[in-house]
Amino acid sequence: MTGERRDDYDLIVVGAGAGGAVVAARVSEDPRIRVLLVESGPDYPNLESLPEDLRNGNRGSLTAHDWRLRYVPSETSRPGQAFPRGRVTGGSSAVNTAIALRGQPSDYDEWASLGNPEWAWEKVLPAFCRLETDLDFDAPYHGKTGPVPIRRHPREELVPYQAAYLDACKRLGYPDAVDHNDPQSTGYAPHPMNKRDGLRVSTAIAYLSPARERPNLTLLADTDVVRVTFARGAASGIEVRRRDGATQAISAPHVVLAAGAIHTPPILVRSGIGSKRVLERLGIAETRLLEGVGEHMQDHPAIGPTLVPKEGVAAYDQPVIQTTLRYTATGSNDVNDMQLEPISFMYRPDRLLMGLAACVFKSYSYGRLAFESADVGAAPRIEMDYLSDERDYTKIIDGLQRAMELVHTPEIEALIEGVRRPTDGELADAPALEAWVRAHAASGAHPSCTARMGPADDPTAVVDERGCVHGLRGLRIADASIMPRVPSANTNIPTIMIGERIGAWVREELAPA
């Protein structure tokens, strides 16, 4: 064992979300390694105690277990909007829409080409297989025994709009993708989803449920991690603040941060890891200067027409998303860089609407986090800067035009009274359309890359390709923040894959000889 018995634990994992719950569960499979998992939000130890908003995988839970964040307007995307993030065991995997996509092989080969050869497609594929039990397809690129069940809504489960959407895509000549997780696939099909009988299978259910009885795994919920502590250039533990305000130091020679792309960087900053400018301004003693902390944030911005459904077509209890179209934007070299996703219902104060979201899944715009306070209760300022790169704007406009074509097929027109926005006037006038797009394009809920991985000579990198923070021993990161580029997929399954891989490496390293 690398940790000596005088430490409280051998490993502390910070944040029980898509990355952290997986690391804690995989490492604690070795009964000799004592693991502490710390989570800011509450814990529901079994399905019986799980509240309805976390149980219902047919729609995201946006407020009941949320961090109440907002992102700020910018020159290129004006709305400042709510920015949901899960605060509960399971993290955002416990509140999300349960879409279970992996992305393209080229996404991971790009990670490798940026100096991270361990993350090439052929190296990550075994972890994608290990995490899943695909209930629909048997193929060399699918797993059959993993903790996350993945299935697609069959035709008879599709609500009228989602079924009509697949027919509309077919009419316009898009190919049938059959299985969106087939690495060669493109086109329309039901989404692979990690829900079963409507239950969202978060990492708390898939990974922590079978692990929580282990005597070597301790879960500390309702507790905020303030900072990582260090001794002689190596992590020595953490300082936590409990709900009653009391602080406590907990020791361990290995710490894995997995607080997510918005919350891992401020923990780094409070621990003295960040740019000189930020540390000096906040009066925090320097542990390690790393300029990339909080920079290079990416996401998948989206916009699309809002539709007025005919009576009885849409309802709040329908699954909000069941299908998608993946395609390559006109003139783009990024395969499957777009998704057009029908939204079964959208709440508006005056009436129920439906939507068709055009999401840029290979985006080039970068946002950042600004750190204005060293207080554990203060959120960073979230500057998304969507559509600041013209390539993203071009793709989203192409997506909007394709969405309008789909809306005007007989299959969709049979279900709607009309299109509310964009108006015909906006569609006919490029500046008006741009104003509408920039005023309404919004987050895909996939913030990532704020502590990206890369080699030591990459000034933007925060961790190396094994998740180790550059220049410090015993401190790793295993969440969406370490992605070097956001993959062209919803980010839950890719983050679980990161947890699988870093979890396996940590278990290997900490196992006694």
Ligand X SMILES: Cc1cc2nc3c(=O)[nH]c(=O)nc-3n(C[C@H](O)[C@H](O)[C@H](O)COP(=O)(O)OP(=O)(O)OC[C@H]3O[C@@H](n4cnc5c(N)ncnc54)[C@H](O)[C@@H]3O)c2cc1C
Chain residues binding ligand X by CB under 6 A are 14-20, 38-41, 60, 62, 84-87, 91-93, 95-99, 224-225, 258-261, 263, 267, 445-446, 479-480, 490-493, 495
The Cα 300–Cα 442 span in angstroms is 9
Instruction: Report in angstroms how near the CB of residue 22 gets to ligand X at its nearest.
Output: 8
15/342 with CB nearer ligand X: 15
**Catalytic residue positions?**
446
302/314 with CB nearer ligand X: 302
> In degrees rounded to 5, what are phi and psi of residue 286?
-75, 125
User: 264: left (phi > 0), else alpha (psi -120 to 50), else beta?
Assistant: alpha
Q: What count of other Cβ atoms lies within 10 Å of the Cβ of residue 434? A: 14
**Coil, helix or strand at residue 332:** coil
Instruction: Report in angstroms how near the CB of residue 84 gets to ligand X at its nearest.
Output: 4
Instruction: Report in angstroms how near the CB of residue 472 gets to ligand X at its nearest.
Output: 18
19/422 with CB nearer ligand X: 19
The Cα 311–Cα 416 span in angstroms is 9
> In degrees rounded to 5, what are phi and psi of residue 480?
-65, -15
Q: Which residue has tokens 């976390």? A: 54
The distance of Cα 211 from the centroid of its chain, to the nearest Å, equals 23
Q: Which amino acid is at 382?
A: I
Q: Which residue is nearest to ligand X (CB)?
A: 17
Burial 98-137 (b: 16+ CB within 10 A, else e): bbbbbbbbbbbbbbbebbbeebbbebbbebbbbbbbbeeb
91/237 with CB nearer ligand X: 91
Instruction: Report in angstroms how near the CB of residue 439 gets to ligand X at its nearest.
Output: 22
Instruction: Report in angstroms how near the CB of residue 376 gets to ligand X at its nearest.
Output: 6
158/193 with CB nearer ligand X: 193
> Smallest Cα–Cα separation from 243: which of 259, 221, 271?
221
The Cα 141–Cα 75 span in angstroms is 43
CB 388 within 8 A of CB 341: no
CB 403 within 8 A of CB 421: no
Instruction: Report in angstroms how near the CB of residue 241 gets to ligand X at its nearest.
Output: 9
> Smallest Cα–Cα separation from 401: which of 365, 418, 426?
426
Instruction: Report in angstroms how near the CB of residue 453 gets to ligand X at its nearest.
Output: 13
67/409 with CB nearer ligand X: 67
150/258 with CB nearer ligand X: 258
CB 477 within 8 A of CB 292: no
CB 357 within 8 A of CB 302: yes
